[in-house]
Chain A
Amino acid sequence: MIWIGDVLLSQGEGGVYNERMLGGARVWDPHRSKMSALYHVGTGVELKTGMRVLYLGAANGTTVSHVADYVDVVYAVEFAPRPMQDLLEVSRRRRNVIPIMADAARPEQYASMVEAVDLLYQDVAQPEQASIALRNCSFLKTGGFLILMLKTRSVDVRKEPAEVFQDTLDVLLSAGLIVQECVWLAPFHHDHAAIVCMKPDE
């Protein structure tokens, strides 16, 4: 991935959300994107040219556009019509973004359009984040990675973030995933954790 000093960049057409440009590349701001924050505070998963990515909770396509700069194709799933309008605009200008308007909790609705992917990235504001990730693991190749951005406040505001984090981790581990990395995204995002897992061979 492209770094200049401690600035993360991606190579692509700029002006998606008035992002800063540096040496002809787009600056990927860790304060705006949790995925960028993960690369700043932890290791994450190296994005490579041939990768296929399933992105759940694509929202306005800000992070999607950066991922699309690196990989072969991004299947971007988003449920709400308002952010979808923005995501469509991003898709029209990028050949490798496939926008899918569907509920990430119901993969059977978009299964007929998605290939097997190398990376499953999830950033949804739902209480059942772990189970949504597991349901979508059918799309993940063996040896592929899951990056789960855990919004602890969406799961349960009454519980301590650390407690929610532990519960989610238990669910993922009991499903047989191998957890590779767990980091909190502070100081960029509060009460958000990133969990990186690998899908092992059967």
Chain B
Amino acid sequence: MQSYWFGDVDDGRCTLFIGDSNAIIDRIRSISVSMDSFIPLEWDQAVLCGACSDRIDYLARLQAVCIADAERSIREQYARKDAELLQMVRTLDEIDTVINLLSERAAEWYLVRHPSFSRKYRRTPAHILVKTMREKSKGALGRVAVEIEQLSETRTFLAKEVSARANSVMPNTSALIGGLVAARLLSHAGGLLLLSRLPSSAIQVLGARTALFSHLKTRSPCPKHGIIFQHRRVHNAPRNIRGKVARVLAGKIAIAARLDYFRGVTATDFLEAAQERIDAVGKRNEP
């Protein structure tokens, strides 16, 4: 017997499937065809079956079912909690880029207006400089400075939201490396399912794509860390053991991501043990 979307065909006899569009979608999702003994469907069987009157009718009905099925799949995928987090963290990173670009450009502009001004020997943080520019500049430059400040506020606001969302979507990974870094890993992997499927060696160098591929293609040294460099245990570690810390941390993140995907709740025992193991890397190597 062969099962098709409109019914079952057995020795030229056809049993029509009766049900509404949702029932048909459930049916096509449940049909699992063995490709070895598979016979492609012939549309005129659907006419014999009474599913449709002619070819135009057949295609119209099939199309309606397929569109409804795809719409449902899309809705299901977007309803997953990580789908929005992905867009949030990407927006955050893009706002950062925009703020940096605009501040640099505005500073160059400001220098032209104030020939005696220089940033050398001053430890002025960027946002203070933007504030000065806003106060001392008239016209468009002042407005640009105002925009930069407003964008920075939005950025801070968004960063808090990302962090909070990451804590609920991926509680274990966030507990291990912080919500922001966890969300960035998620964004690079493309989703929680994809992140949970990655081997820890891939997680370790996630975000170091250029270095990784230049290593694979030429003989340049391989990268020790990607995004996880942003974790203090990695960037505070002495250079000679940084790779080791990154490797252990990546291993624990891989486990945490799987816990997040399959369990979705905090696993306290695991977190304590993992933290201990990560902290131990540095100590073991001290004299």
Contact, CB under 8 Å: A112 / B74: no
Chain B's closest residue to A140 (CB) is B40
B151 interface residue per 8 A CB criterion: no
Asked if residues B71 and A95 are in contact (CB atoms below 8 Å), the reply is: no
Most interface-central of B4, B35, B60 (chain A CB within 10 A): B35
Q: Are A112 and B69 in contact (CB under 8 A)?
A: no
Give which listed residue, A100, A116, A158, contacts B40 with CB less than 8 A: A116
A91 CB contacts on chain B under 8 angstroms: 63, 66-67
Report which residue of A73, A87, A111, A113 has the largest number of chain B beta carbons within 10 angstroms of its beta carbon: A111
- Asked whether, in the complex, the Cβ of B40 is within 8 Å of the Cβ of A97, the reply is no
Distance from B207 Cβ to chain A, minimum over Cβ atoms (Å): 17
Q: Find out whether the CB atom of A113 lies under 8 angstroms from the CB atom of B66.
A: yes
Residues of A within 8 A of B73 (CB): 81, 84, 101
| Nearest CB of chain A from residue B82's CB, rounded to whole Å | 13
Q: Are B74 and A108 neighbours in the complex by a CB distance under 8 Å?
A: no
Say whether, besides A116-B40, A158-B217, A95 and B63 are in contact (CB < 8 Å): yes
Near B by CB (< 8 A), chain A positions 76-122 give: 81, 84-85, 87-88, 91-92, 95-101, 107-109, 111-116
The segment from B26-34, B123-131, B160-168, B242-250 found at the interface with A is B26-34
CB of A98 within 8 A of CB of B5, answer no
Asked whether, in the complex, the Cβ of A81 is within 8 Å of the Cβ of B63, the reply is: no
B38 x A97 contact (CB < 8 A): no
The reply to whether the CB of A157 lies closer than 8 angstroms to some CB of chain B is yes
Determine the distance from Cα of A87 to Cα of B28 in the docked complex, in whole angstroms.
20
- Complexed CA–CA distance, A158 and B32 (Å): 37
Chain B residues near A107 (CB-CB < 8 A):
35
Question: Which of chain B's residues 199-224 have a Cβ closer than 8 Å to chain A?
Answer: 213, 216-217
Docked-complex contact B74 and A85, CB < 8 angstroms: yes
**Is A190 an interface position by the 8 A CB rule?**
no
Contact yes or no, A100 B33, CB < 8 A: no
Residue of chain B at shortest CB distance from A158: B216
Q: Are B56 and A95 in contact (CB under 8 A)?
A: yes
| A residues 111-166 in Cβ contact with B at 8 Å | 111-116, 135, 138-139, 157-158
User: In the complex the two chains form, what is the Cα distance from A148 to B63 in whole Å?
Assistant: 25
Q: How far is the CA of A138 from the CA of B216 in the complex (A)?
A: 37
- Interface residue B23 (Cβ < 8 Å from any Cβ of A): no
Bound complex: CA A191 to CA B34 (Å): 35
Contact of B38 among A84, A88, A138 (CB under 8 A): A138
Q: Which residue of B lies closest to A110 (CB)?
A: B28
- Report the Cα distance A97→B64, complex, angstroms: 11
CB atoms of A81 and B35 under 8 A apart: no
B111 within 8 A of A: no
Tell whether B53 is near chain A: CB-to-CB under 8 Å.
no
State A100–B29 Cα separation when bound (angstroms): 12
Contact of A115 among B43, B70, B216 (CB under 8 A): B43
Residues of A within 8 A of B71 (CB): 88
Known pairs A91-B67, A108-B35; A96 contacts B59 (CB<8 A): yes
Cβ distance B70 to chain A, nearest Cβ, rounded Å:
4
| Residues A92 and B67 in contact, CB atoms below 8 Å apart | yes
Q: Which residues of B contact A85 (CB under 8 A)?
A: 74
Shortest beta-carbon distance from A130 to chain B in Å: 16
**Closest A-chain residue to B76, C-beta based?**
A81
B265 at interface (Cβ–Cβ under 8 A)?
no
Interfacial chain A residues near B35, Cβ < 8 Å = 107-108, 111, 135, 138
CB distance from A133 to the nearest CB of B (A): 14
| A42 smallest CB distance to B (angstroms) | 28
- Contact status B70-A98, CB under 8 Å: no
Cβ–Cβ contact A101 & B74, under 8 A: yes
Shortest CB distance A136–B (Å) = 9
Residues of B within 8 A of A99 (CB): 63, 66-67, 70
Minimal beta-carbon separation of A118 from chain B (angstroms): 12
Partner of A98, one of B34, B40, B42, B63: B63
Q: Could you name 5 residue pairs across A and B whose Cβ atoms are closer than 8 Å?
A: A100-B70, A107-B35, A111-B40, A113-B5, A113-B62
A-B complex: 10 closest residue pairs judged by Cβ atoms: A116-B40, A111-B33, A101-B70, A81-B74, A112-B31, A108-B33, A101-B73, A81-B77, A112-B4, A113-B5
8 more A-B residue pairs beyond the given contacts A87-B70, A91-B63, with a C-beta to C-beta distance below 8 A: A73-B59, A84-B70, A91-B66, A100-B66, A100-B70, A111-B31, A112-B31, A157-B217
